[in-house]
Amino acid sequence: METNTSSIQTEMAEVLAPLRSVLARLEPNDIPLPEVAGIWQLFSLVRRLAGNGETLLAGRVAEAREWARSGYATPEEWMAAKAGTSVGEARGQIATSEQLGQGLDETAERMRQGRLSPQQAGIVADAAAVNPDAELELCDRAERDSNKNLSDEARRRKAQRSDGDDRARRHHRERRARRYSDADDKSHLHVEGPTSKLAEFFKALDRETDRRYREATKQGRREGRDAYAFDAFLSLVTQGIAGDAATSSKPKHLAMIRVDLDALVRGHVEGEETCEIAGFGAISVAEARALLSESILYLVCTKGVDVVNLTHLGRGPNRVQELALLWASQTCQVAGCYRTHTQYDHRIDFAETRHTRVDETDLLCVHHHKMKTFKGYALVAGTGKRRFVPPGDPDHPATSGSGPGSPRSDGSSPGPAQPPPPEPSQEPPPPSESIEERIGRLRASAQARRRRAAGQGDLFGLAE
């Protein structure tokens, strides 16, 4: 069938206009309750059809390489940025699109008719790509059963055709441990991979969970088994599977806590103050205090210190500078890029300056670092997250003539990132001690500790 591209574009534009107009005057409270559900279903159908259209096109979008021309590393990143969705969702859409292209015509046809949702199509296509005989039955089930049951059935039908070794290889390829924070700053860990690799761990986890559960019951404490499984999980990863829970372990934390000194002293955050484990999310000041007593950590104080202007006569940033950079940003400094695996980039070539200054250094992910080195892209002038433009762009530093940020003129002395020692008895300070006195005390003990523990930089694997 020949597709008339221009007619599709025209028709889509014609569809969008009335949809926009309806949405512009949509006042949920003005719609009589008996009509709300029906209208909701109409919007849901629009979303379903639009999502199916996206999925059908996703494979071709990847081929079209507009994402590469726009400076994205992968098509899914481009799609996520355009659609305002997650990269994982976009990746799934491309995978489904490619599976549909392997002859899953029935699934594709039901998507066109709006009988399957994009999510259902994804579940069906994933299994039918491995077991094509199951396609029709899974399509039928999708229309009448819950997605949970559809997933279960799809898994069974997929396994029927999976060669064991093949599957193990696939499971190995698809292994992942992914951590993320939800809107409440609670941390999640999602682990998937070959059962063979996880079985031993699961056994140990069950053993330890049972042990903790029995102990708690004996003491009259009662929480859900999942809560003890969490405790067991933590104790296993910190002590090793063979370890006995009774043996004490040395604390192994190596994290940066970002906390305003005022908040740390006061015991809670106020206003716009921060208290978080960098890269993970917010924690309470009480938790920060507890960690202070048992962790190897560096505190970057935000009160009265300048973390911007630090000079180091070497190629890489030193430890203090690295912490200052991490303080400013944990992700690639290209606007829209979320990568946390970053490299340091001298804004002015090191060969020219022979020094490393924090305010002349950017964090770039590997992808964007390569685009800068090999294709002449550059961050526009300024600091922090900002646009990344190709050579010739009016805002490109080479074109606009704006160099990197000029040195601070106030001549304020560097002195951030004093690594204060973990103080085991981190009681709230006596009320008589002022913040200034406390900073002074922390600095003095930090200097003493630095002299004692000169080798600690090795923990970060950094050359001084």
SS3 per residue for 358-387:
HHHEEEEEHHHHHHHHHHCCEECCCCCCEC
In whole angstroms, the minimum distance from the beta carbon of 28 to Zn ion comes to: 39
Q: Any contact of residue 371 with Zn ion (CB under 5 A)?
A: no
The residue range among 79-87, 137-145, 331-339, 351-359 that interacts with Zn ion, by the rule CB under 5 A, is: 331-339
- Residue 419 half-sphere exposure, CB side, CA atoms within 13 Å? 21
In whole angstroms, the minimum distance from the beta carbon of 212 to Zn ion comes to: 42
Nearer to Zn ion, 266 or 386 (CB): 386
Interface with Zn ion (CB under 5 A), residue from 62, 337, 371, 446:
337
38: exposed, middle or buried (Cβ count in 10 Å: 0-12, 13-18, 19+): exposed
In whole angstroms, the minimum distance from the beta carbon of 290 to Zn ion comes to: 34
For residue 312, report the phi and psi dihedrals to the nearest 5 degrees: -140, 130
The residue range among 105-113, 222-230, 234-242, 339-347 that interacts with Zn ion, by the rule CB under 5 A, is: 339-347
Nearer to Zn ion, 97 or 342 (CB): 342
Q: What is the dihedral sign for C-alpha 241, 246, 251, 257?
A: positive
Helix, coil or strand: residue 282: strand
In whole angstroms, the minimum distance from the beta carbon of 341 to Zn ion comes to: 9
The residue range among 51-59, 195-203, 220-228, 362-370 that interacts with Zn ion, by the rule CB under 5 A, is: 362-370
Structure tokens at 168: 């193990």
Site string for Zn ion, 273-312 (x = CB under 5 A): ----------------------------------------
Name the helix (H) or strand (E) containing 128: helix 118-128
In whole angstroms, the minimum distance from the beta carbon of 122 to Zn ion comes to: 28
User: CA–CA separation, 82 vs 78, rounded Å?
Assistant: 6
C-alpha to C-alpha distances, 416 to 273, 325, 404, 419, nearest whole angstrom:
17, 11, 22, 9
The answer to whether residues 208 and 229 touch, using CB atoms and an 8 Å cutoff, is: no
Nearest to 114 by CA among 46, 57, 43, 12: 46
For residue 169, report the phi and psi dihedrals to the nearest 5 degrees: -65, -40
Nearer to Zn ion, 115 or 339 (CB): 339
User: CA–CA separation, 208 vs 231, rounded Å?
Assistant: 9
The residue range among 1-9, 55-63, 197-205, 366-374 that interacts with Zn ion, by the rule CB under 5 A, is: 366-374
Beta strands in 109-227 (DSSP E): 176-181, 187-192
In whole angstroms, the minimum distance from the beta carbon of 368 to Zn ion comes to: 4
Nearer to Zn ion, 232 or 332 (CB): 332
User: CA–CA separation, 245 vs 202, rounded Å?
Assistant: 16
Q: Any contact of residue 368 with Zn ion (CB under 5 A)?
A: yes
User: Which residue type is seen at 98?
Assistant: E
Nearer to Zn ion, 241 or 366 (CB): 366
Interface with Zn ion (CB under 5 A), residue from 62, 236, 297, 334:
334
Q: Any contact of residue 125 with Zn ion (CB under 5 A)?
A: no
The residue range among 195-203, 335-343, 347-355, 434-442 that interacts with Zn ion, by the rule CB under 5 A, is: 335-343
Q: Any contact of residue 378 with Zn ion (CB under 5 A)?
A: no
What residues pair up with 334 in beta bridges, in sequence order? 386
Q: Any contact of residue 365 with Zn ion (CB under 5 A)?
A: yes
In whole angstroms, the minimum distance from the beta carbon of 355 to Zn ion comes to: 25
The residue range among 109-117, 325-333, 406-414, 453-461 that interacts with Zn ion, by the rule CB under 5 A, is: 325-333
User: Which residue type is seen at 301?
Assistant: C
The residue range among 207-215, 269-277, 332-340, 343-351 that interacts with Zn ion, by the rule CB under 5 A, is: 332-340
Q: Using CB under 5 A as the criterion, which residues of the chain lie in contact with Zn ion when the complex forms? A: 332, 334, 337, 339, 365, 368
